[in-house]
A and B are shown apart, each in its own frame.
Chain A
C-alpha cells in the first residue's frame, strides 16, 4: 500500500512556497491567517512567495528549487502548501533531491502545475500527496466553503466521503482503485518522461481550464493512444472551465467528446465531479485507495 505522510496536529508547521508562477504576498495573506488563526497551525513562508522576481516566475529555477528543497529537508515542516501553480514545476522536478523526503515524507499540497510533482512522487517513490486548493482559494471567504474545508479535514486525517449529483453523460457502475490524476495538460506533458504514471486498475481523474475544446480533445486522445484509458477502475471528469472554441465551433462539448472516446470501455465514468480550477475543488489523496460509485442519481467517492 502507498505510504501516506503523517497527518497534522494543531501546532504543526506548514511551509508555503511558490515553485512556479509569481504570487504577491498579499494574495496569500488570508491563507496564512486562516492556517494560523483559524486552523491552529504554524506557517513558515519561503522566499519565493512575494519575492523580488520581476518576470513570470516566482524566482529563478535555482531560487525556486532551493526554496522547495529547504522545506523538503526541514523535519520541522510537516506539510508544504504550494501557494500557486501556473508554470514552472517541470523545470526543476529532475533537480529536486527527495532523499530526506523519502525518510520523512510530508504532505505536499497543490494542483494544476503541481500535477507533475504528484505523478512524479507516485511513480518514483510511491508516496501520497494531496491534490487540493491552494492559497488563492482561501480568499473572499473561500476558506469557509466545503472544498477548502476538505483540505483541513484531509490534513487532519479524516477519511473523505465526497458526493455530487449525477450527470446525464455518466456511465453507472462502481470501481475501487488507487486514485491518480490531475490537470490534463500536465498529465499529457509528462507522458514518456520520468514523471509518467500508470493508470491500470486505478481511478483516474482529470480537469483543465482555459483550453480550446480541440486541444483538450487532443490531450485526451493522447491519454487514450498512450494506453492510459484501457483498464481503468473508474474515470472522474472534473471541471473543464473557461473553455475556448475555434471560430468554426468544434461542434461538441468536451464532455460529449470524452464520452465518445471511452464508449468502448465498461468502467464507471462520472462528469462534473468537483475537482477543478473553480472553488469546487475537493482535496484528493494521490495513490490512496478510493471507491467510486456512479449511481443513477448520485455519485460518491469514498476513501
Chain B
C-alpha cells in the first residue's frame, strides 16, 4: 500500500457496486452507534499513560517527539518508567494515572504507551463518569482491547485501535515507508481524517459488501472478556481480530469461543488481521488446519464477507482503526477495502 493508495478517495472504492450488501443500513444492532469524541486540533494536549506493561522512560521519546512535531502538546503520566513486576506500576498507580488523564479536561486524547498485560486488572475500578460526559480518544491495541471493549459496551464511545509507543522510529531519518504510513494513519484518524484502507485481495476471502459499526481487537483478549461486562455484542457489526505468539490449536479454540458464544452468527462482516503463530515444540504435532481453514469452517453457513490478511496486528503494517464507528467493508475479487461510512 503506497501513500497514494492510502489516500484513495472513497468515491472510487464505492464503485465496486455489483456485490450484494450483506447488512442494509436499517438492520443495525440495537446498541446505539457510539458517540465520537472530538477530533484533535493543533495545540491540543495528549496524555501518555501505561495501564498495562512496564516500559523505560526513554522508550517514549520518539513518540513524544513525533506527537510534538505534529503540533500537539504531550503530558507524560507517572506510569511511564514506573515498574512493578512486568506492570507499569502497581494496580493502584496505573489506575490513578489513567484516571487523572480521563478526568483532566485539558487532555484531549489518551495514548496508551504499551500493551503487554494489565488493563483488565484495573478496568472495572476506573471511574468513567467524567469521560462519559466529556469523551476523548483512547489509543492502543493488544491488551488495550480491554479498554476498547469496555467503553464500546458500557459507555458507547468510539476509540482508536492503533500502534502504541513502538509506532514511531527511534531514528527519524531512518523511516520505513510502512512505518511512516501507519504513524500517519494515527494522525489522520485523530484529526478527523476519514478511514479508507485499500487491502490486497486474498485468495481465500469470501466476497461481499458489509456495513456496520467496527469492533474488535486482539483475539485472546476478546476471548478473555467473554462473560464479563466488556463482552462484545457483535450483531450487525464488522468484527476484526488479530493475534500473535499463540499456538494454532489455541487460535482454533479461541475461534470456537467466538462461535459458541454466538459472536460469529449475525455479523455484518469479518476482518482477519495478522496472525503470527507460535510453532509447536514438537513438529510432529502439526495441527493439520491453517488459519484460513480454521476461520472459514467457523463461518460456514453464514453469508457475510470475510477479509484475510488485513493490515492490523502485531506487525509493521498495523493501521489505525476507529472502533465503534460505522464502516463499509468491500471484499471484491480485485478490490478490497475498509472505509469509514460517513
Contact = CB atoms under 8 A, between A and B. Distances in A.
B227 interface: yes
A21 B286 CA distance: 11
Given A56-B288, A57-B288, A87-B249, A219 B256 contact: no
Interface residues of B, number: 38
Contacts of A87: 249-250, 252-253
Contacts of A40: none
A91 B85 contact: no
B194 to A, nearest CB: 34
A98 interface: no
A114 B241 CA distance: 27
A296 B54 CA distance: 38
Interface string B109-125: 00000001110110010
Interface stretch (B40-48, B166-174, B218-226): B218-226
Interface string A220-253: 0110011110000000000000000110111110
A107 B226 CA distance: 30
B30 interface: no
A56 B261 contact: no
A86 B116 CA distance: 26
A215 to B, nearest CB: 8
Contacts of A54: 286, 288
Q: Is the interface of A mostly helix, strand, loop or mixed?
A: loop
B104 interface: no
With most chain B CB atoms within 10 A of its CB, the pick from A22, A55, A86, A194 is A55
Contacts of B76: none
A59 B231 CA distance: 34
B86 interface: yes
A143 to B, nearest CB: 25
Interface in B112-145: 116-118, 120-121, 124
Interface string B223-259: 1111111110000000000000000011011101100
B84 interface: yes
Interface string A60-82: 00000000000000000000000
A14 B148 CA distance: 50
Contacts of B261: 191-193
Interface string A34-55: 0000000000000000000011
B227 A246 contact: no
Contacts of A225: 120, 124, 225, 227-230
A104 to B, nearest CB: 27
Nearest to B249: A87
B228 A222 contact: yes
B124 A248 contact: no
Given A225-B229, A226-B227, A249-B86, A189 B286 contact: no
Nearest to A218: B224
Nearest to A224: B228
Contacts of A252: 85
A196 interface: yes
A55 B280 CA distance: 12
A26 interface: no
B253 A90 contact: yes
B286 A56 contact: yes
A251 B93 CA distance: 15
B117 A56 contact: no
B287 interface: yes
Given A56-B280, A91-B256, A191 B227 contact: yes
B287 A94 contact: no
B214 interface: no
Contact of B260 (A57, A194, A245, A246): A194
Contact of A217 (B117, B223, B249, B288): B117
B285 interface: yes
Contacts of A192: 226-227, 231, 257, 260-262
A188 B252 contact: no
Contacts of A190: 257, 260
B279 to A, nearest CB: 12
A218 B256 contact: no
B271 interface: no
Contacts of B225: 222, 225
Contacts of A138: none
Contact of B86 (A191, A194, A196, A251): A251
With most chain B CB atoms within 10 A of its CB, the pick from A189, A194, A227 is A189
B227 A251 contact: no
A227 B116 CA distance: 24
A290 interface: no
A214 interface: yes
B224 A246 contact: no
B10 to A, nearest CB: 36
B224 A188 contact: yes
A232 to B, nearest CB: 16
B85 A191 contact: no
Contact of A214 (B117, B228, B231, B250): B117
A225 B249 CA distance: 25
23 contacts: A22-B285, A55-B285, A55-B288, A56-B285, A56-B286, A91-B256, A189-B253, A190-B260, A192-B226, A192-B262, A193-B257, A193-B261, A214-B118, A215-B117, A217-B121, A221-B120, A222-B120, A225-B227, A225-B230, A226-B226, A227-B227, A246-B117, A250-B87
Interface of A: 21-22, 54-57, 86-87, 90-91, 94, 188-196, 214-215, 217-219, 221-222, 225-228, 245-246, 248-252
Given A55-B286, A189-B254, A248-B53, 12 more contacts: A56-B286, A57-B287, A191-B226, A218-B120, A222-B227, A225-B120, A246-B86, A248-B86, A250-B85, A250-B86, A251-B85, A251-B86
10 closest A-B pairs by beta carbon, nearest first, are A251-B85, A55-B288, A226-B227, A191-B227, A193-B260, A192-B261, A225-B228, A214-B117, A192-B226, A87-B249
